[in-house]
């Protein structure tokens, strides 16, 4: 019984998060009011607070869930038996996959995290910095082993991640590109730019 109630709460919260995500993308986090979210669901704003803690908490959960997913993936890649270039390609493909299949939460994480509150915002920045410096380490190893072009590794990491995050422009403009074609073209562009 307690189990059923818990499940009902979770699913209602998921509905809120989902509707909120779409509005955050459309209007931005600060311009989306709790009344907007409530209206999209069909309830009054105060009712939302039976399921969530605060508007900012909604944002926090989205950003940290995405952050966790990338951290877990990175750990697997780091401990895999592949060349450095192979690892980078796996990471690139995973970022592309996430931009396509988790677009809403990716967009919000990439753009609205600045509105996180006091401890969360610095935790988030720290995780991000850590993630990128570990990518940088993989690139540097690949450069040493002459698999990767001699580039400034930090510049290369920022460049390739930004390029992939640019897939958002695709969703926004509503252009029709096959996901597979997008992935293959982007991977070729980036890998050929990196490959020695």
Partner DNA sequence: CCTACCGATCGGTAGG
Residues at the contact surface with DNA, assessed by CB under 7 A: 12, 32-36, 38, 41-47, 49-51, 54-56
Residues 23-52 interacting with a copy of itself (rule: CB under 8 A): 27-28, 30-31
Distance CA 27, CA 46 (A): 21
Look up residue 52 and give its DSSP letter. -
Residues 147-176 interacting with a copy of itself (rule: CB under 8 A): 149, 151-152, 154-156, 158-167, 169-170, 173, 175
Q: How far is the CB of 3 from a copy of itself (least distance, A)?
A: 40
Q: How far is the CB of 12 from a copy of itself (least distance, A)?
A: 28
Residue 114 interacts with which of DNA, a copy of itself, none, CB < 5 to 8 Å by class:
a copy of itself
Based on the shown chain and the rule CB under 8 A, indicate whether residue 126 belongs to the binding site for a copy of itself. Answer: no
Residue 71 interacts with which of a copy of itself, DNA, none, CB < 5 to 8 Å by class:
none
CB 131 within 8 A of CB 48: no
Q: Which two tokens stand for residue 43?
A: 């309830």
Burial class (CB in 10 A: 0-12, 13-18, 19+), 155: exposed
CB 63 within 8 A of CB 125: no
One residue of 111, 123, 136, 137 binding a copy of itself per CB under 8 A: 111
Q: Which residues of 14-32 are buried (b: 16+ CB within 10 A; e: fewer)?
A: eebbebbbebbbeeebeeb
Distance CA 157, CA 166 (A): 14
CB 149 within 8 A of CB 195: yes
Residues that bind a copy of itself (CB under 8 A): 27-28, 30-31, 111, 114-115, 129, 149, 151-152, 154-156, 158-167, 169-170, 173, 175, 177, 181-182, 185-186, 188-194
């Amino acid at each position: 019984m307690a189990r059923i109630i818990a499940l009902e709460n979770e699913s209602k919260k998921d509905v809120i998060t989902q509707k909120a995500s779409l509005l955050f993308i459309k209007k931005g986090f600060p311009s989306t009011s709790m009344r907007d979210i409530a209206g999209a669901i069909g309830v009054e704003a105060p009712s939302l607070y039976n399921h969530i803690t605060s508007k900012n908490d909604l944002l926090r959960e989205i950003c940290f869930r995405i952050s966790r997913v990338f951290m877990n993936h990175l750990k697997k890649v780091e401990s895999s038996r592949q060349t450095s270039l192979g690892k980078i390609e796996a990471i690139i493909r995973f970022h592309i996959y996430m931009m396509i299949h988790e677009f809403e939460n990716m967009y919000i994480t990439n753009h609205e995290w600045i509105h996180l509150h006091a401890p969360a915002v610095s935790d988030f920045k720290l995780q991000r910095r850590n993630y990128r410096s570990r990518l940088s380490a993989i690139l540097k190893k690949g450069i040493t082993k002459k698999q990767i072009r001699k580039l400034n590794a930090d510049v290369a990491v920022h460049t390739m991640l930004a390029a992939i995050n640019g897939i958002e422009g695709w969703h926004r403009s509503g252009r029709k590109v096959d996901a597979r074609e997008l992935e293959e073209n982007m991977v070729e562009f980036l890998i050929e730019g990196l490959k020695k």
